[in-house]
Structure 1
């Protein structure tokens, strides 16, 4: 198990906002803490996360959801996923970004400073997958993701 304060080059590629069709099956869990103190998990895709540097991500969240409300209230979240045989737990310190007038897709955007990026493997086993999904309308969703990623760069 190793812990860093930055992303490795494999993760920078995963979150570069490009080749979204190739990455469309990849899903992650975003965990926040609810008002009653319990962990709250939501799924998030590569179409809602972009890497702006080795130490910072940007997230685009659906507005007024429990996850977004938790993020606004606490300024914290943890991104959890399995990628290429490694489990990742990325603790994030969040800062809301301004709303984009006339955005293609209404989102609450956040700058997410990486507080820690923990890589976890087991010596006795190989992680073969994490959460994956099959998009019902791949071209429509991947197009929306591309538009969302573009707006995350604003």
Structure 2
């Protein structure tokens, strides 16, 4: 194998403990309609040590600053219970032709606004980046990870996501 052929097969890795600008922009809570279909996998460990995965859409993720990610979960979700117990999770996704894995340590955010209301019954967590990694190779482009399309109720879903992001922004700003 020639040097140029070998370099084409080399795994490129980027390690980070702060969101790169492109990811901070992805999770900034804007342009939700343009980002429909983006899916991240949140992997937690339950009380029995089993790895559990929750799929999150762009309307459930918000980067409040360069080191954190706020998420909104339904309180009955296994991931919400697991985060309340052990506070650690990994978020994986495909973006910009790379595979990302981000290790986060979470805390629960206050869930009641000044009027005593919650945002649709969601529980919110803020995760601090412990370590993040992007991987890509030159010979193969990742074109997507897990993706989805919204069918009926697309407008209602986008409105709910907008409300969720606004709520995440509010509770993230208070903590």
TM-score range with shorter-chain normalisation? over 0.9
| Alignment match, 2:124 | 109
Larger-Rg structure: 2
- Quick one: distance in 1 between partners of 2:18 and 2:158? 27
Q: Secondary structure at the match of 1:2?
A: strand
Q: CA deviation at 1:113?
A: 0.5
In structure 2, the gaps of 5 or more residues are 1-12, 171-175
Q: Secondary structure at the match of 1:121?
A: strand
- Quick one: distance in 2 between partners of 1:65 and 1:127? 29
- With the length of structure 2 as denominator, give the TM-score of the two structures: 0.85
Higher helix proportion: 2
| Alignment match, 2:85 | 73
In structure 1, the gaps of 5 or more residues are none
Deviations 1:116-152 (A, max 9, x none): 1110112431111111101122111010000001111
| Alignment match, 1:140 | 156
- Quick one: distance in 2 between partners of 1:37 and 1:122? 32
Aligned-pair Cα RMSD in Å: 1.0
* Number of residue pairs the alignment of both structures matches: 154
- With the length of structure 1 as denominator, give the TM-score of the two structures: 0.96
Runs of 4+, deviation exceeding 4 Å: none
Q: Secondary structure at the match of 1:106?
A: coil
